[in-house]
Amino acid sequence: MGRGGGANRGGAQRGGRGGFNGGRGGGAQRGGRRGWRDWEKNNRSREASVAISPDWAMLEEIEFHRLAKLRLEVDDPEDLDDYGRLYAYEKTYDRITTKSEKPLQILDRIKYNTTTSDDPVIQELASKDTATVYTTDVILSGLMCAPRSVYPWDIVVVREGNKLFFDKRDGGPFDTVTVNENAADPPQDPQAVNPNNPNEKVAVPETPSINTATSLSLEATYINQNFAFQTVIENPPPAAVEFSKPNPFYGPEETEPLASCGYRYRVFDLGVTEDEDIKLCVRTEVDGYTPGQDNPRAGQGLVTIRALNEFDSRSPGAGGAPDWRTKLDSQRGAVVATEMKNNSCKLAKWTVQSVLAGAELLKIGFISRVNPRDNTRHVILSTTSTRPMDFAAQLNVSLANGWGIVRTVTDMCMKQPEGKYVLVKDPNKPVLRLYAVPANAFTGEDDEDEGAFDGEEPDSVGAA
C-alpha cells in the first residue's frame, strides 16, 4: 500500500463560518424534578464512530480498567525539525473579565489537521526509518487519555513492514472536540426512529437542536479555532517567528492567510530495555509564543491555545455548571472544578498535547454565547494560563500511564501481519477493540461495497 501523496486540502480545517451550522434553537427548559421516564435518557445507547462490517475480524479486546494499570516512564524527546510560522500571544486577553468581555471574531484562516499518512514530512522521515511508530499529537493524546473517554472514537492503524502509522479518518471524531463528555448526564443526540416499529412516535426532542451533542461539538470546534486565531498578534511588533522550514501543507496556489501554527516533529523512545529499539515519531503543534521570552525557535516560551465554551447553564447536558457571567470573577475555582469534572477527557487531551509539543504555557479561554438561544455569536469572558505539567497534576493525568497504553497498543499491532486495522472505542462500554479491515477501508474506494451491508444491522453508523 502506497502512502498518500502530498498534503491534500481534505485535511485543512478552516476557522470562521466554514463548516459550522448556525441557527437559533428553541427556548431553554427549566430544571425540575426527574420524571418517571427520565431513567431512559441515561440508558440511551450511542452509535459507534465507524460502522463495524460483519466481514471484519476482531483480533483483540482490552478493557479500560486494564489500561489504567499500565506504566512506562519515557525520557524527554529528541527534536527532529520544526515547520511553520508563529505569532506572539496577545497578553491583553489575560486581563479580560466578565465586565470587560470581548466579542469572539470570525476570522478566515487556514489551519491544517492532516492525518499522519498524508503528512509529507512524516513520509520522508519514514523513508529514512526514523522510528517504528508515526502519529500526530491529536491522535496520540486520544490514545494516551483513552480510559477517560466516554464517546466513541477510532484510530486507523496501518502496518507497513516494521512501521506502524496511526491515522484518523477525515471528518471523524479527531476533527472535532467534545462538550461535557464526562458529565453525569452528557448532551445527547436525538433518538432515531425505531426501524422495527416505524409507527412508533418519537418523543418531541427535549433538547433544542443547537444543544445536541453533535451541534455542540461543531460549535466548540469553531470556537476553539477562532479563539486561537484571534488571540495572536499578526501585525508586528512583535515580529512573527519563522521556524526552520515553511508550513509543509500550504501550497503555492493558496491565497487565504495561514493561521499561527508551528509544527514540531519529535521522537520519543518507548524502549523498556537498552537494546530495544521502539521509537515513536509525532507531529506536535503549538499556537503562539510569549513575547519577551527566550528564543521560541529553541522551544522556549511556546504556547498552546484552547477554549472552553458555555452554551446554556439550564439546558440538559449542562452538567450542573454555574453561570459563568456571575461566577467566573468571584468563584473561578468552582467554575474550573466543574469543567475539570465535566470535560475531564478533553482537558486531559489538551494537556497531553501541550506536554508532547514542549509548550511552556497552555492558555484556556472561557467563551459563552451572547444569547443562550443563539449558537452563532460568542463573547470571551476570561482567559486562564497554566503550565501543562502543573495542570496534568491537577487533573490527575499520568503521562507514564499514557505511554504504557501507547506501548501496549503498539505491541498488539506489531503482533499482526502487514495490513490495515482499526482500533475502536466501544460506543457504550469502557472497552477498546482491534479489528482487521480490508486495505481499501476508509479510502472512499469501498463505498460501493458498503451496499452489501445495508440490509444487515452493523453495530453503528456515522461519526461521533
Q: Which is more confident, 463 or 158?
A: 158
User: For residues 358 and 304, is the Cβ–Cβ distance under 8 A?
Assistant: no
CA distance 310 to 370: 10
Is the pLDDT confidence value at 78 over 60?
yes
pLDDT band at residue 298 using 50, 70 and 90 as cut-offs: confident
As a whole number of angstroms, the distance between CA 81 and CA 241 comes to 15
pLDDT > 70 in the chain, percent: 83
Say if CB 230 and CB 379 are below 8 A apart.
no
pLDDT, tens digit, 9 for 90 and up, residues 390-437? 999 999 999 999 999 999 999 999 999 999 999 999 999 999 999 999
pLDDT for residue 198: 57
- Burial of residue 91 (CB within 10 Å: 0-12, 13-18, 19+) is middle
Asked whether residue 19 carries a pLDDT value surpassing 70, the answer given is no
Q: What is the pLDDT of residue 43?
A: 56
> What is the band of 45 on the pLDDT scale with cuts at 50, 70, 90?
confident
pLDDT at residue 454 is higher than 90: no
The pLDDT tens digits for 174-204 are 999 999 999 999 998 887 655 555 565 555 5
Top pLDDT among 189 and 28 is at 189
Mean pLDDT across the stretch 41-65?
A: 88
**Given pLDDT bands bounded at 50, 70 and 90, which one contains residue 347?**
very high
pLDDT of residue 2: 45
Q: What is the mean pLDDT of residues 82-108?
A: 96
Indicate the average pLDDT of the chain.
Answer: 87
In terms of pLDDT, which residue wins out, 295 or 356?
356
Dihedral of alpha carbons 181, 13, 388, 370, sign: negative
φ, ψ at 432 (rounded to 5°): -110, 145
Lowest pLDDT segment from 25-34, 38-47, 190-199, 332-341: 25-34
Residues 236-291 pLDDT 10s: 889 999 999 999 999 888 888 999 999 999 999 999 888 889 999 999 999 999 99
Residue 1: predicted pLDDT: 47
Cell of 330: 468571584
**Can you give the pLDDT at residue 199?**
61
Segment 105-127, tens digit of pLDDT: 999 999 999 999 999 999 999 99
pLDDT at position 447 is 45
Q: CA 54, CA 5: separation in Å to the nearest integer? A: 31
Residue 365 has pLDDT above 60, yes or no: yes
Higher pLDDT, 15 or 192: 192
What is the predicted pLDDT for the residue at 54? 93
